[in-house]
Amino acid sequence: MLQSWLPVPSGSDFSIYNLPFGIFSDDRPARAGLAIGEWVVDLPATYALNLFSRYPEAGGVFRKPVLNDLIGLGREFSGYVRKTIQDALCDGDSILKRYSEHLLIPLKDVQTHMPLRVGNYTDFYSSEEHAFSVGRLFRPENPLFPNWKHMPVAYHGRASSITVSGTPVRRPWGQTAQTGANPLFQPTNALDYELELAFVIGKDSSCGQPVPVAEAEDYIFGVVLFNDWSARDIQRWEYQPLGPFTSKNFASGISPWVVTWEALQVFRVPAPVQSPMPLPYLAAAPRMNFDLSLTVGVKPENHRECTLCETNAKHLYWTAAQQIAHHTVTGCNLQVGDLLATGTISGTGLAQKGCLLEATLNGKQPVQCGDGIERRFLEDYDEVIIRGFCQNGDIRIGFGELRGQVLPALPL
């Protein structure tokens, strides 16, 4: 076991085994850092003390207000940075310890920022439990479409409205259907969260060149929590025949700290057996997920937070590698900073449903939030909190929190 001279609270998401990358600021401009316990390692400041001598270009990428250029230097570089800091945290005579008052900044004193410049975002539909539950609500006799078990279904989302944890979400306006009448234009009455993960693409692929499934994981830098906010009543009216549009383009949220692909490897577990076998370009062996516990809490205004979902990413039917292989099979190219989200992650029971659409059976059965409060969908000033962590013996790696509060619709 690694032993750090820096006290890290028991159960911290940001253990010495994690060291996720993020962008932060204090009284100085936004820059790159690593989270450790209740602290941030200031990477430009550590560079100035010659901690990363193998990479003279590191100083420039550490000072950028997003991680894209840092990620673009490759996993060998980011692994070197993490290992250098990890070693320094275990060395009582390290420069990091000697200058800790200058190099370590309390997390409570910093502001975290959007860690990525996201050029492209794709939202998959990778949880069989979620797809089946939603399908059963609207098509009881045929919950899964014929294509679902043959390919990772997805749609291209809106990258410009992806924001970092803590950014409020304004209730959107849109068209909603009315029985036997023209649609109404009104604020959504069915605002929902979606519990997801998003894979951060770490290197470019070539346009016109598919990425083989066996090589797909080489293109992943790390993982963040993801909330694909959804307006279900707007979605019901607009999604046929081309899928969701304004019901989802108004906001998505990500957690501020990018957990690296390397840090997650100790938590790999086999993915569910696929039947029927997918086509050869999707047939990875072995297929692996992560034993990653996920929760969703909702905190109504002036009330305690209640947990509405507890599930695990290990049940995902389609893996990250299969998502990438299918995404690129046409020759579509990936770019550094792209996000490939899993879609809502659910389990089988109502307490494991990753969105209110499922948990409330499309608003028919409210969930209880304590203090006599119940919810069918989100109300104004509700705050949604998504958390995730992996645990293997004494090794714990977490993602921190992804928070977002609902604000009332603007008058139009």
The fold of the 21-113 domain, in CATH, is: SH3 type barrels. (2.30.30)
State the binding site for substrate. Answer: 125, 139, 235, 239, 344
Q: What's the CA gap between 3 and 93, in Å, rounded?
A: 14
**Quick one: CA torsion of 338, 269, 398, 41, rounded to 10 degrees?**
-70
DSSP, collapsed to helix, strand or coil, labels residue 321 as helix
The annotation places the binding site at 123, 125, 139, 194, 196, 228, 235, 239, 248, 252, 344
Q: What's the confidence (pLDDT) of residue 18?
A: 98
- pLDDT of 285 strictly over 90: no
* Per-residue pLDDT at 180 exceeds 90: no
**Residues tagged active-site:** 130
Is residue 284 scored above 90 in pLDDT? no
Q: Which helix (H) or strand (E) holds 89?
A: helix 75-90
Instruction: Quote the pLDDT of residue 43.
Output: 98
Which parts are annotated binding residues for Mg(2+)? Answer: 228, 248, 252
Structure tokens at 89: 């945290």
Pairing of strands 121-124, 339-341: parallel
Is residue 181's pLDDT more than 90? no
The tens digit of pLDDT for each residue in 185-242 reads: 999 999 999 999 999 999 999 999 999 999 999 999 999 999 999 999 999 999 999 9
Query: What are the two backbone dihedrals, phi and then psi, of residue 284, each rounded to the nearest 5 degrees?
Result: -80, 145
Grade residue 1 by pLDDT with cuts at 50, 70 and 90: confident
Write out the H or E segment, with its range, that includes residue 200. Answer: strand 195-201
**pLDDT-based confidence at residue 55 (cuts at 50, 70, 90):** very high
pTM for this structure?
0.98
Measured between alpha carbons, how far is residue 385 from residues 70, 89, 197, 256, 362 in Å? 28, 30, 14, 13, 21
Place of tokens 């190099």: 103
Judge contact between 198 and 224, C-beta under 8 A.
yes
Write the pLDDT tens digit of every residue in 321-333.
999 999 999 999 9
Q: What is the pLDDT of residue 49?
A: 96
Region 335-352 average pLDDT: 97
**Burial of 61 (C-beta count, 10 Å sphere; 0-12/13-18/19+):** buried
Whole-angstrom CA distances from 325 to 122, 201, 328, 332 are 13, 13, 5, 10
Evaluate if residue 404 carries a pLDDT over 90.
Answer: yes
Between CA 167 and CA 299 the distance in angstroms is 15
Regarding the domain delimited by 121-407, which CATH topology (the fold level of the hierarchy) does it fall under? Fumarylacetoacetate hydrolase; domain 2 (3.90.850)
The dihedral over CA atoms of 84, 85, 86, 92, expressed in degrees to the nearest 10, equals 100
CA proximity to 106, closest of 201, 9, 248, 244: 9
d(CA 292, CA 222) in angstroms, rounded, equals: 14
Residue 153 has pLDDT above 90, yes or no: yes
Q: What is the percentage of the chain residues whose pLDDT exceeds 90? A: 97
Q: Over the stretch 358-394, which tens digit does the pLDDT of each residue have?
A: 999 999 999 999 889 999 999 999 999 999 999 999 9
Residue 257 has pLDDT above 90, yes or no: yes
Which of residues 179 and 115 earns the better pLDDT score? 115
Among 320, 345, 346, 370, smallest CA distance to 211 is for 320
**Sequence-ordered list of residues with C-beta below 8 angstroms from that of 393, at least 6 positions apart, any chain:** none
Kindly state the tokens that stand for 294. Answer: 């996920």
Mean pLDDT for the stretch of residues 243-269? 98
- Annotated binding site for Ca(2+): which residue ranges? 123, 194, 196, 228
Q: So what's the pLDDT on residue 289?
A: 98
Average pLDDT over residues 167-180: 95
411 CB contacts (<8 Å, ≥6 apart)? Answer: none
Q: How many CA atoms lie within 13 Å of 35's alpha carbon, on the beta-carbon side?
A: 32
Is 117's pLDDT higher than 90? yes
Given this model, what pLDDT does residue 179 score? 87
Determine the pLDDT at residue 238: 96
Q: Provide the residue ranges of all domains of the chain, joining segments of one domain with +.
A: 21-113, 121-407
Radius of gyration of the chain (CA): 22
- pLDDT confidence band for 32 (50 / 70 / 90): very high
| Residues 59, 48: Cα–Cα separation, whole Å | 8
Task: Note whether 335 and 327 are within 8 A (CB).
Answer: no
pLDDT tens for 34-52 read 999 999 999 999 999 999 9
Q: Find the distance separating the first CA and the last CA of the chain, reported in whole Å.
A: 58
In this prediction, residue 75 carries a pLDDT of 97
Q: Which residue has the tokens 């893996």?
A: 319
**Residue pair 292/177 in contact by the 8 Å Cβ criterion:** no
According to DSSP, the residues that pair with 112 across neighbouring strands are: 24
Instruction: Give the residue among 302, 307, 300, 309 at the shortest CA–CA distance from 379.
Output: 300
* Average pLDDT taken over every residue of the chain: 97
Q: Measured between alpha carbons, how far is 38 from 34 in angstroms, rounded to an integer? A: 11
**Residues 250-265: what's their mean pLDDT?**
98
Query: Of 178-182, 236-240, 258-262, 298-302, which range is least confident?
Result: 178-182
| pLDDT for 277 beyond 90 | yes
Which runs of E-coded beta strand occur in 57-153?
104-106, 111-113, 121-124
Q: Is 367 left (phi over 0), alpha (psi -120 to 50) or beta?
A: beta
